[in-house]
A and B are shown apart, each in its own frame.
Chain A
Amino acid sequence: MAAPQVLPLPHGQIPITSHAFNADRSQVAVSLNSNDVTIFHRQGQEWAAGETLSEHDKLITSIDWAPNSNRIVTSSQDRNAYVWSLTPDPQTGTTIWKPTLVLLRINRAATFVRWSPNEDKFAVASGARAIAICSFDPEGDWWVSRLLKKPIRSTVLSLDWHPNNVLLAAGSADMKARVLSAYIKDVDKRPAPTVWGEKLPFNTICGEYTSPSGGWVHSVGFSPSGDVLAFTSHDSTISIVYPAHGPNAIHTIKLTHLPLVTLTWTREDEIIAAGHDCQPFVFRGGEAGWELAGTLDDNKHAGGGSTGVGGGRGFGAAGAGAGASPVGRLSSAAFTTFRNADTRGFASMASSPTSPGGSGGLPSAGGGGESEIFTLHQNTITEVRVYEGVPGDVRKVSTSGVDGKLVVWDVANVSPLGAAGLSGKLGGMHIR
């Protein structure tokens, strides 16, 4: 029941788009909202910046680090993916991360990437209404791709591999979560029949699901057994699909919170999901129904002064405006409050813009800086991943956020949700 641990990464508050740990969790690769991957490594209690992987020329959208083969794969808005492997440098003899370009054959951004469980394939989601399934061609000594296209109608936002290394779940901006076959003849053995189907040639569609109120499907995940699928969408719902139980039996929980953008299964009966509400929610249930059980965040992080969060940035303009000419509503306290709440998630700066002169901007950044939200993460959580444990018995998860934090949470440390008692309603089952 350990308290959440914020890893002291030395990069400040730059948003973390994506993160991936290596097998023994001594290193972590992060995309700091840029076209480089930074690898941090543990040094006692501290973390230090190590190698920077620079090859992409647009924002890196997703990173995955294969635990056994120790290779990193990255996807980027520049429409490329690279596989990075540790190779001795011919000049210095030290080992460095060497990139191999992957021929994705897509004409839009690559949005998401994941190694398959056996690490002999990986899947790249993209804005080109396609998923590239990549496998290694030893003769050509490169990674080749086959595209899953039908019936995807819009950008694919997330992926998850089934434990059998063949099936793939995909969440898309066309409001649908799908289960598809990514069977590659030269790589895969014939898979055993599953609840999703028996014969599974490439691009078989095994299921297509949507929540009642629609919304982009932000994340998908197979349960540890692979027999259940969960997905979250932009209508603030999480849906759990039991293909084995009747025709498309889906449990949908409508949240009273903001949408969830990432999820991971910790046990066959437990899911951790997080997103715009800045805290990891815990969902528990089974075939009979699912409910919101609580949150890993005790919501007692009010005004964590240490986060400081660059008090001045974004407020400067307001200060200057007030000093020069207090123009109508633009200088009103309410306007400033809303603007600060909007841009920084802050709400305590109302009195600041009156700072005399207002020439420089920065209105008493030190005094204000108190956080409005009580969660540990001070902004949207971009990714939640397994940190410790095995599939079906995960004990810790890690989350990265737009606030630049990387946090490790004990999944046993569940707090009940706040007073309002709005949440925790059982998801109604709907049969399509």
Chain B
Amino acid sequence: MDVNFRKIDIDQYDEDVLQEEELYEADPRDPAQVLNDAKAKVGAVRNALSKGDTVGAINLVLDGTPVGPNVEEAKNLNLQTLTSILNSTKASEIPAIVRSLSQDAQDTLMKYLYKGMALPGWGEVSGSVLLGWHEKLTEVAGTGCIVRAMTDRRTV
């Protein structure tokens, strides 16, 4: 069956297209400011990790995450900061950490896990770590958390 018709952009014939930006409230911060915030977190997270405060480090990264368009650099930086925490956490500690997070933080963490798994090449590097976190997070936050990670237009 010919399925190419599905790839036609029918929106171009519509004068009144629903824009992506209309579907969520944009981050009020300036993109440069967002990047600065993300950079500032790197040091703070390292500081918290050196004290053994993994929960504090995770909450730092998951608070005020860069979302929306024009902040790709900050998004990637934040993902790398988060991955450094995920990679350095012992598997036995994950359940307790996940439970201590707020529901909002759990949803954001799930978004980052999916983002990490979707990036080309990341599967080999930290695939098993991400899957381990995904398993524990799903046990605590359920399928609803996954649905929110997929539904939310505020992509990380």
Binding site for B on A (CB under 8 A): 153-154, 174-175, 212-215, 233-237, 254-259, 420, 422, 425, 428
Contact = CB atoms under 8 A, between A and B. Distances in A.
B103 A255 contact: no
B5 interface: no
A213 B153 CA distance: 7
Interface in B110-156: 139-145, 147-148, 151-154
Contacts of B141: 256, 422
Interface in B1-57: 18, 22-24
30 contacts: A174-B22, A174-B23, A175-B23, A175-B153, A213-B107, A213-B151, A214-B23, A214-B24, A214-B151, A214-B152, A214-B153, A215-B148, A234-B147, A234-B151, A235-B147, A235-B151, A236-B143, A236-B144, A236-B147, A254-B107, A254-B144, A255-B142, A256-B141, A257-B142, A258-B144, A259-B144, A422-B140, A422-B141, A425-B103, A428-B103
A233 B140 CA distance: 21
Contacts, number: 63
B24 A175 contact: yes
Contacts of A213: 107, 148, 151-152, 154
Contacts of A259: 144, 147
A236 B141 CA distance: 12
Nearest to B139: A420
B119 to A, nearest CB: 22
Given A237-B148, A256-B143, A256-B144, 14 more contacts: A174-B18, A212-B104, A213-B152, A214-B23, A214-B151, A234-B147, A235-B152, A254-B107, A257-B144, A258-B143, A259-B147, A422-B140, A422-B142, A425-B103
Given A153-B22, A154-B18, A257 B143 contact: yes
Contacts of B22: 153, 174
Contacts of A237: 148
A254 B152 contact: no
Nearest to A422: B142
A278 to B, nearest CB: 12
Nearest to B23: A175
Interface string B64-86: 00000000000000000000000
A214 B23 CA distance: 8
A214 B139 CA distance: 23
A236 B147 CA distance: 7
B103 A258 contact: no
A256 B103 CA distance: 10
Contacts of B153: 175, 214
Contacts of A234: 147, 151
B151 A256 contact: no
A372 B154 CA distance: 34
Contacts of A258: 143-144, 147
A212 B107 CA distance: 11
A159 B19 CA distance: 24
Contacts of B152: 213-215, 235
A252 to B, nearest CB: 10
Contacts of B145: 256
A144 B154 CA distance: 41
Contacts of A214: 23-24, 151-154
Contacts of A420: 139, 142
A129 to B, nearest CB: 8
B103 A254 contact: yes
A215 B151 contact: yes
Nearest to B145: A256
Nearest to B24: A214
A258 B147 CA distance: 7
A235 B148 contact: yes
B134 to A, nearest CB: 15
Nearest to B106: A254
A36 to B, nearest CB: 27
Contacts of B139: 420
Contacts of B103: 254, 425, 428
Nearest to A234: B151
A334 B77 CA distance: 37
A153 B152 CA distance: 18
Nearest to B138: A256
Contact of A255 (B24, B140, B144, B154): B144
A216 to B, nearest CB: 8
Nearest to B140: A422
B99 to A, nearest CB: 10
Contacts of B23: 174-175, 214
Nearest to A252: B103
A254 B140 CA distance: 13
B18 A236 contact: no
Given A175-B24, A213-B151, A425-B103, A153 B144 contact: no
Nearest to A154: B18
B21 to A, nearest CB: 11
B148 A254 contact: yes
Contacts of B18: 153-154, 174
B100 to A, nearest CB: 14
A174 B18 CA distance: 8
A237 to B, nearest CB: 8
A255 B146 CA distance: 11
Contacts of A428: 103
B76 to A, nearest CB: 22
B54 to A, nearest CB: 22
